[in-house]
Amino acid sequence: MTTQTGIQMRTGIRPISAARRATDRLVRVLVYLAFALAVIPLLSVLWLVVKNGIGRFDIEFLTHSMRNIGARDAGGGAYHAIIGTLEQVLLASLIAVPIGLLTAIYLVEYGEGGRLSRITSFFVDVMTGVPSVVAGLFILAFWILALGMPFSGFAGALALSILMMPVVVRSAEEMLRLVPRELREASYALGVPKWRTIVKVVLPTAFTGIVTGVMLAVARVAGETAPLLLTVFTTDSINDNPFDGPQMGLPLYVFDQAGRPTDTAINRAWTGALTLILIVMLLNLVARLITWWRSPARRR
Amino acid sequence: MAKMIEVAGLDAYYGSHKAIEGISMTIEPRSVTAFIGPSGCGKSTFLRTLNRMHEVIPGARVVGKVRLEDQDLYGADVDPVSVRRTIGMVFQRPNPFPTMSIFDNVAAGLRLNGRYSRSELEGIVEESLKGANLWNEVKDRLNKPGAGLSGGQQQRLCIARAIAVRPQVLLMDEPCSALDPISTLAIEDLIAQLKQDYTIVIVTHNMQQAARVSDKTAFFNLAAQGQPGRLIEMDDTSKIFTNPAEKATEDYITGRFG
């Protein structure tokens, strides 16, 4: 102890005090606790879904619809709902991703803080806050009631794309802004026009981040129920044409089955939820693979 | 290949701020012209007006004339993209495209501008990398990412990329300020070679470098902070460093200020 104080005297550098050690430990415990609190609901939902859903997760579930399945019958499946969800989400992405990406490119590369870009930015923020039911109601009122179109997977995709668009715009915008100015200037200085610079230099550099953003948007809309209820309606039969007639979607299926009074239906609802989670996870995995395959680190 | 640049009465603005004022000079072909001066005196801004890179910054504009041989680069019907293809640029910080390999980086300017066959590209890439003294170091790993090279190699990669599009003038904005002395030497040797074929303009903070590599030197200064930068004098490098006409130049190169 005497030597320590001796050193302290000479250099003025002090050992870590007991109070600071205690604070460090306390904060550390708090952070871990907060983490645990955040993870508990997530894990418990996952656990419940897997535990209750795994029982009916079989070939029949994945390959059969609910057509001609009586109220008390066992069996039946979600094939029609899986088809519906995949088609609706794919169509919604086909609408929302190009529009969202082009909007982000406009905001970052061409808007330059002008009037139009400020207005666009403001309405993107407004759209982010639109409740999903309202998106569904809008398509119901506009597409189905006013224009007289039928309930269809496409109508659902329109509603979902309204929800996807702002997410895609915001995430793509963030990623494009991360691309350093120097890279754009390097390209301009080679005599490359602005549009080619965006296509060949800016977008590839931001590609990984944009894909992640799109996947988040997809994951968000894949679980939407309310807008689909108003636009896709529901059905127990297989309808693989998303442009005509009611379809099913996995969230709708879960909602529908969970509302029925028999245990077999409740079990189907759990398995539907499990399937939905698996589909979103699979899509994420595919996106990870794409970004890994495209990343420069792979070639190093 | 190399061409002469004439500048007359040039002002450059960032928004309402006038960064440089009333600059006129002649830059000789097949020679190295160095711009020196304290920070903020507008040498980099002026350099960027020479290939219309100044105006890519939002709100930036230029008044005055820059002529390459007989053509006014700021003429109403001149395409800035083709100006930049004719007058290449190397930046302060090496900035290879991170998503591209070494080969693709050098080929970028060609590929992004037109159609070339693979064998044509291979020829030009090899020639450009040799021109930038980088070929021997990278010839076995052309497909590796350009970002994996050292800083000095990256800067030479950027020079190779700039000369691959066969410009007539090469502008260099403090090309060595982020490099160690050995890499700096490599770049300086390269500049001495390149001046056989190109008109070279280099901005530098290093006065020894200006003295070593350049034939002509231009000294820029500003009267006070917030005032626009001006060209104080321009002459043969030996004259500027031994017997400058202006007092301010002498004070600067002898280290009395700046």
CATH code for position B183: 3.40.50.300
Tell me the per-residue pLDDT of A65-85, one tens digit each, with 9 for 90 and over.
Answer: 988 888 888 888 899 999 999
Residue B64's CB: how many other CB atoms inside 10 A?
17
- Mean pLDDT for B61-85 is 91
User: CA of B245 to nearest chain A CA: how many angstroms apart?
Assistant: 35
Reduce the DSSP state of residue B50 to 3 states and report it.
Answer: coil
Range of the structural domain that residue B213 is part of: 5-253
Q: Which long-range contacts (CB under 8 A, 24 or more apart) does A140-147 make?
A: A140/A230, A140/A231, A143/A231, A144/A231
Is there a domain that residue B43 lies in?
yes
Predicted pLDDT at A5: 55
Q: Chains A, B: CB contacts under 8 A, how many?
A: 83
Q: Span B144-167, mean pLDDT? A: 91
pLDDT at A55 over 80: yes
Out of B81, B144, B148, name the one closest to residue A191 (CB): B81
Model confidence pLDDT, tens digit, residues B175-203: 988 888 888 888 899 899 889 988 999 99
What whole-number distance in Å separates Cα of residue A87 and Cα of residue A245? Answer: 13
**For chain B, percent helix, then strand, then coil, each to nearest 5?**
35, 25, 35
Q: What is the pLDDT of residues A243-255, one digit of tens each?
A: 999 999 999 999 9
Domain count, chain B: 1
Residue A17, CA distances (Å) to A8, A22, A30 in order: 13, 9, 20
Average pLDDT over residues B46-56: 93
Name the average pLDDT for chain B.
90
In CATH, what number does A60-299 get?
1.10.3720.10
Q: Where are the domains of chain A?
A: 60-299
Arithmetic mean of pLDDT, A3-8: 55
Cα distance between residue B204 and residue B95, in whole Å: 18
How many Å separate Cα A225 from the centre of its chain?
Answer: 14
Residues of chain A with C-beta less than 8 angstroms from the C-beta of B89 = 189
Q: Is B74 inside a domain boundary?
A: yes
User: Quick one: pLDDT at residue A146?
Assistant: 94
Is B152 within a domain?
A: yes
Do B91 and B158 form a contact (C-beta atoms < 8 A)?
yes
Cβ separation A186–B158 shorter than 8 A: yes
Kindly state whether residue B258 falls inside one of the protein's structural domains.
Answer: no
Residue to test with chain A: of B57, B85, B97, most A Cβ within 10 A: B97
Nearest to A189 among B89, B113, B143 (CB): B89
pTM of the model: 0.85
The bridge status of strand B169-173 relative to strand B87-90 is: parallel
pLDDT in tens, B83-116: 999 999 999 999 999 889 999 999 998 887 778 8
**For residue range A141-182, what is the model confidence (pLDDT) as tens digits?**
999 999 999 999 999 999 999 999 999 999 999 999 999 999
Is the predicted pLDDT of residue A1 greater than 50, yes or no?
Answer: no
Q: Is B47 in contact with B203 (CB distance < 8 Å)?
A: yes
Name the residue among A181, A180, A184 with its Cα closest to residue A192.
A184
Q: What digits encode the pLDDT tens for the residues A194-249?
A: 999 999 999 999 999 999 999 989 998 999 999 999 999 888 899 989 999 999 99
Q: What is the mean pLDDT of residues A73-101?
A: 94
Rounded CA separation B255/A55 (Å): 83
How far A124 CA sits from the closest chain B CA (Å)?
23
Strands B60-68 and B5-14: antiparallel
The amino acid present at B162, given as its one-letter code, is A
Residue A90: pLDDT above 70? yes
Note the pLDDT of residue A84: 94
